[in-house]
């Protein structure tokens, strides 16, 4: 299970002892490098050690960010001894990421057992678990990215930003421009744009650019789903987002040509419009996580069925502990998102609070490791984003 969670490609079960953690990220960086060299031979790296460092740099394994080759090479060539401000910001980023990761684990302790018995819970609980998982996967993955970027700063390498408050975006296109940004850019540069250019050469398709965009979205995100895992649930998740992005593109085009100024005023200048746009986007993304989280299509369909109220009289039963966990996780996420920017921009009380929290977490992990070694239970809590 740990391998399945980390690697992102669910196959070759007999090779588990020898397949490297983060295999899918090795592959995607290697493909990007080969395409760049194919387009421009001058980008070929003559120093094998530099190329090997790019492929295997521990900071961006096993889950990114996916640093472009030319950016990473520039970082290595310009690298100097780390300055005190880099150390401070590296430790700050790592601390914030560790707090996010620990919080994601805590949410998982509450919701994972409930997901395992989805058919027997109420509709209200199924929605709380769904939104809880949405928060959990964000904290888990963005937390790992913060930790990776923090480690990078400690050794003088600035890894790129990977998340910019994705759940606050107004539409699905903006969501993917701020969620796993480096993967989105990789898909755009190496799949979406080349595919669009190829399709545009067809006279029939050239007349319908929205059709080309829709085809490109669908193919790109189908591949994105398969890249995350060779299972039907990931395939459906990718197709789901491909259809959603196509619909978003078409809707935006129609709205610009057909809708009145009143519509744009309401949607962009009022609280109601913002709630509708942001809430609708978050709901769409959250429903997609059903397929991402489910082990089988049967489990995903059971979850969707319960969300729609298939359990009848149990529909409105609610466990308040889940409600409190969800409320606490939302507040924590909001607070952590306020800690953007370098540490110098934080107020003194924020720096002190973060430092004390880090000390508590370190003591907690040391205690957990000691207990696990004494009890013989050395199980780990893997990153949940494949």
| pLDDT tens track for 221-255 | 999 999 888 899 999 999 999 999 999 999 999 88
End-to-end CA distance of the chain: 11
Q: How far is CA 295 from the centre of its chain?
A: 18
pLDDT of residue 9: 43
In this prediction, residue 90 carries a pLDDT of 84
* pLDDT, position 370: 60
Q: List, for the chain, all residue ranges whose pLDDT scores fall below the cut of 50.
A: 1-20, 378, 380
Write down the pLDDT at residue 15.
43
Is the pTM above the cut of 0.85? no
* pLDDT number for residue 5: 39
Q: Is 119 helix (H, G, I), strand (E, B) or coil?
A: helix
Distance CA 318, CA 178 (A): 33
CA distance 202 to 197: 9
Q: What is the C-alpha separation between 203 and 211, in angstroms, rounded?
A: 13
pLDDT of residue 321: 76
The verdict on whether omega for the bond into residue 244 sits within 30 degrees of 0, i.e. cis, is no
Tell me how crowded residue 328 is: count the other CB atoms within 10 A of its CB: 14
Q: To the nearest 5 percent, what fractions of the chain are helix, strand and coil? A: 75, 0, 25
């Amino acid at each position: 299970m740990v391998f399945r969670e980390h690697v992102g490609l669910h196959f070759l079960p007999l090779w588990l002892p020898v397949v490297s953690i983060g295999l899918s990220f090795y592959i995607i960086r290697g493909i990007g490098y080969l395409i760049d060299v194919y387009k421009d031979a001058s980008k070929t790296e003559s120093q094998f050690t530099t190329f090997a460092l790019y492929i295997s740099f521990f900071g961006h394994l096993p889950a990114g960010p996916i640093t472009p080759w030319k950016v990473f090479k520039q970082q290595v060539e310009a690298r100097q001894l780390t300055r005190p401000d880099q150390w401070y910001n590296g430790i700050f980023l790592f601390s914030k990421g560790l707090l996010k990761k620990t919080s994601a684990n805590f949410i998982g302790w509450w919701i994972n057992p409930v997901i395992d018995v989805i058919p027997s819970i109420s509709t209200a609980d199924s929605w709380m678990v769904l939104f809880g998982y949405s928060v959990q996967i964000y904290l888990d993955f963005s937390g790992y990215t913060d930790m990776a970027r923090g480690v990078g700063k400690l050794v003088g390498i600035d890894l790129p930003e990977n998340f910019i408050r994705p759940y606050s975006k107004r539409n699905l296109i903006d969501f993917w421009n701020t969620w796993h940004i480096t993967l989105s850019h990789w898909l755009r540069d190496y799949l979406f744009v080349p595919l669009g250019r190829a399709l545009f050469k067809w006279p029939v398709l050239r007349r319908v650019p929205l059709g080309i965009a829709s085809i490109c979205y669908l193919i790109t995100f189908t591949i994105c789903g398969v890249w995350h895992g060779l299972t039907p649930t990931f395939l459906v998740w990718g197709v789901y987002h491909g259809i959603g992005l196509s619909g978003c593109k078409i809707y935006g085009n129609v709205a610009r040509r057909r809708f009145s100024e009143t519509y744009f005023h309401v949607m962009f200048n009022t609280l109601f419009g913002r709630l509708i746009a942001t809430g609708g986007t978050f709901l769409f993304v959250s429903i997609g996580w059903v397929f991402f989280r489910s082990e089988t299509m049967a489990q995903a369909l059971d979850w969707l069925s319960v969300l729609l109220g298939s359990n009848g009289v149990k529909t409105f039963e609610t466990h308040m502990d889940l409600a409190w966990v969800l409320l606490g996780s939302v507040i924590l996420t909001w607070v952590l998102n306020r800690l953007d920017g370098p540490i110098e921009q934080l107020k003194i009380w924020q720096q002190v609070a973060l430092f004390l929290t880090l000390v508590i977490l370190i003591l907690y992990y040391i205690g957990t490791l000691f207990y696990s070694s004494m009890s013989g239970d050395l199980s780990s809590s893997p990153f949940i984003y494949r």
